């Protein structure tokens, strides 16, 4: 039987895991294909837990803001799902791709319908729909993230956005290619501008953990009781996180950690245990799949130690 953990026990688990994972420092590689990301101090490491009971447990650099990158795909997907409902799934599928996050390879034979909303191709389609829906998409995304995390100070890091915009050839190629099949509606420059901004959002582990508590709580934000997604939509979002949140390492993440989660090339990961808690880990050094190396080590130890996962 899984144990019913109290705050003090989570505290002990996190302290232990932190020490166990520190020796992995130096074994990964900070992303450098977006130059601004390579300037971050690779030695940082933070963990934050937010429980549905209202407790916060922090360790290391849990309060430091970093570039959330692809974790932003959770927020844009939630926004678009809440407007389009089931219609969205005609334009993007819900199947793991088994390919790297920025791959073009499946798009041609699958006629511009991306495999899932978390690879870049799918996220671009989702952001394109968001631009259809919101007259001021960049403001709307920031408002949504601030609301979910309860932190009005969350911002776009304009240096990161500019750096990504200047190195966006691959994302531009993806967008033009999908547009050739009619599955992107808006001007590609506008789309890439919004996409680079959403990826540049700067948040801490605490902000990230708080921002997904609604998923652990059947779609309702426990901080203000607002229904963000229906229960069924929250299930769908969690299912896509569980099967596609870590690109071609998604199966391995399920195998080792067993939580719905999402990573970003800034080295952040956010995950949640339904009905219980959300956890975020950040360390900038990545493994070859573009996921935080120490982050996955820490999360694997976490679910092992607390003897709980979704499986
Ligand atoms: N902004 C990054 C990109 O589009 C996000 C990728 C990621 O975090 N995996 O390449």
pLDDT digits (tens, 9 = 90+) for 43-82: 999 999 999 999 999 999 999 999 999 999 999 999 999 9
Return the best residue to mutate from 32, 34, 126 for the ligand 1 pocket (most ligand atoms within 8 A of CB): 34
pLDDT exceeds cutoff 60 at 102: yes
Distance 3 CA to ligand 1 centre (A): 37
Question: Is the Cβ atom of 246 under 6 angstroms away from ligand 1?
Answer: no
How many angstroms separate the CA atoms of 213 and 223, rounded? 9
Ligand 1: does its nearest atom lie under 6 Å from the Cβ of 120? yes
Alpha-carbon distance of 143 to 113, in angstroms, equals 29
37: CA distance to ligand 1 center in Å? 11
Confidence tier at 3 by pLDDT (50, 70, 90)? low
> If you average pLDDT over every residue of the chain, what do you get?
96
Q: What is the mean pLDDT of residues 151-175?
A: 97
In this structure, are residues 265 and 32 in contact, taking their beta carbons and an 8 Å threshold?
no
Q: Which residues are the active-site residues? A: 70, 73, 195, 247, 265
- 137-149 and 72-84 helices cross at what angle (nearest 10)? 110
**What are the residue ranges spanned by the domains of the chain?**
7-306
**Residues 73-107: b if buried by 16+ CB within 10 A, e if exposed:** bbbbbbbbbbebeeebeebbbbebbeebbbbeebb
Q: Which residue matches tokens 């509606």? A: 185
Length of the chain: 311
| Residue partners of 138: CB distance under 8 A and separation at least 6 | 156, 194, 197, 198
Helix (H, G, I), strand (E, B) or coil at 151: coil
Residue 219 φ then ψ, to 5°? 95, -5
**Under 8 Å CB-to-CB from 53, ≥6 apart: which residues?**
7
Q: If you measure from the C-alpha of residue 125 to the centroid of ligand 1, how many angstroms do you get, rounded to a whole number? A: 14
Name beta bridge partners: 201: 156
- Residue 84's pLDDT band, with cuts at 50, 70 and 90, is very high
Q: Does the pLDDT of residue 171 top 80, yes or no?
A: yes
Cα 125 from Cα 113, distance rounded (Å): 9
From the CB of residue 168, how many other CB atoms can be counted at a distance below 10 Å? 20
Looking at 181-270, list the stretches that DSSP marks H as alpha helix, in order from N- to C-terminal side.
Answer: 188-199, 205-211, 213-216, 231-244, 250-256
Task: Check if 249 has its Cβ closer than 6 Å to any atom of ligand 1.
Answer: no
Q: Distance from the CA of 67 to the center of ligand 1, in angstroms?
A: 10
H or E element at residue 71: none
Query: Which residue's CA is the nearest one to ligand 1's atom 10?
Result: 102
Mean pLDDT of 264-293: 97
Q: Please state the atom number of ligand 1 nearest to the C-alpha of residue 33.
A: 10
| Rounded Cα distance, 240 and 50, in Å | 22
CA of 51 to the centre of ligand 1 (A): 28
Atom of ligand 1 nearest to the CA of 265: 8
**CATH fold for domain 7-306:** Beta-lactamase (3.40.710)
The residues pairing with 263 across neighbouring beta strands, listed in sequence order, are 269
Q: Which of 36, 69, 99, 268 to mutate to test the pocket of ligand 1 (most atoms within 8 A of CB)?
A: 69
Q: What is the pLDDT of residue 89?
A: 97
**Is 0.85 surpassed by the pTM of this model?**
yes
**Res 1: pLDDT:** 46
Nearest C-alpha neighbor of 25 from the set 226, 303, 295:
295
């Amino acid at each position: 039987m899984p144990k019913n953990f109290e705050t003090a026990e989570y505290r002990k688990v996190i302290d232990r895991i932190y020490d166990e994972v520190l020796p992995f420092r130096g074994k990964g590689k900070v992303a450098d294909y977006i130059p601004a990301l390579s300037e971050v101090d690779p030695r940082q490491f933070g963990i934050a837990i937010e429980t549905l009971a209202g407790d916060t447990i922090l360790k290391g650099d849990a309060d430091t803001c970093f570039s959330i990158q692809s974790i932003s795909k959770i927020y844009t997907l939630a926004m678009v799902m809440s407007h389009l409902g089931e219609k969205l799934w005609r334009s993007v599928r819900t199947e793991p791709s088994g390919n790297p996050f920025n791959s073009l390879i499946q798009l041609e034979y699958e006629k511009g319908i991306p495999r899932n909303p978390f690879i870049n191709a799918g996220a671009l389609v989702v952001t394109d729909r968001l631009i259809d829906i919101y007259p001021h998409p960049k403001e709307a995304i920031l408002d949504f993230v601030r609301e979910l995390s309860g932190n009005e100070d969350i911002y776009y890091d304009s240096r990161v956005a500019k750096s990504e915009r200047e190195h966006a050839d691959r994302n531009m190629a993806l967008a033009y290619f999908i547009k050739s099949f009619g599955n992107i509606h808006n001007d590609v420059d506008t789309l890439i501008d919004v996409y680079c901004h959403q990826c540049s959002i700067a948040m801490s582990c605490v902000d990230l953990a708080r921002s997904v508590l609604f998923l652990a709580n059947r779609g309702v934000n426990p901080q203000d009781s607002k229904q963000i997604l229906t229960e069924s939509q929250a299930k769908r979002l969690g299912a896509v996180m569980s099967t596609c949140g870590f690109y071609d390492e998604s199966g391995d993440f399920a195998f080792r950690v067993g939580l719905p989660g999402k990573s970003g090339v800034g080295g952040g990961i956010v995950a949640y245990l339904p009905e219980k808690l959300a956890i975020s880990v950040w360390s900038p050094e990545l493994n070859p799949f573009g996921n935080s190396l120490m982050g996955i080590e820490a999360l694997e130890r976490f679910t092992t130690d607390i003897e709980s996962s979704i499986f």
